Amino acid sequence: MDELRWQRTIPSPLGPLCVVTDGRSVVELEFDCGKADSADVPAAAARLLDRAAAQVAEYFAGRRTAFDLPLAPRGTPFQQDVWRALLAIPYGHTASYRDVARSVGRPAAVRAVGAANGRNPIAIVVPCHRVIGADGTLTGYAGGLKRKQALLALEARHAFALLP
């Protein structure tokens, strides 16, 4: 039997985002979802969708540097390890694919880290946009390189403003 899931489209400066919950956790946040919002959303799921939408709005307004949402991305154990490592990359900073591979104890798995990064189902909140090439270049992003560049610029601008 398929798991019940509810979704809502939320606005962002980079285009609509689709947030999906199973009622307990956020399981997806993606660009260009093209899916219709769910009808008959149970109260707990509606509260979680509201909370996610509010936190995403705060992020884009520069008032949120970390998310406080229950997350349950679906993936392999290796993907889960990579996505946890992404959560450790601080706001306004970047890491290379090699850095992430080392952090998950698989220093030779740079390409596999890239593949796991590309399959991250919870964009922005699990900050795959903070992963760049070893030479500092922007490389692949499921939402497109223009969005990746915009997210990094937004964080750099607001991180600088937060300095004492």
Q: Which residues are catalytic?
A: 128
Task: Kindly state the tokens that stand for 57.
Answer: 């709005």
For residues 117 and 114, what is the distance between their CA atoms, to the nearest angstrom? 5
By DSSP bridging, strand 95-96 and strand 6-10 are: unpaired
5 neighbors 48 (Cβ within 8 angstroms) = no
Amino acid code (one letter) for 124: I
Burial of 45 by CB count in 10 Å (0-12 exposed, 13-18 middle, 19+ buried)?
Answer: buried
For residues 32 and 50, what is the distance between their CA atoms, to the nearest angstrom? 19
For residues 164 and 160, what is the distance between their CA atoms, to the nearest angstrom? 9
Task: Kindly state the tokens that stand for 16.
Answer: 């609509």
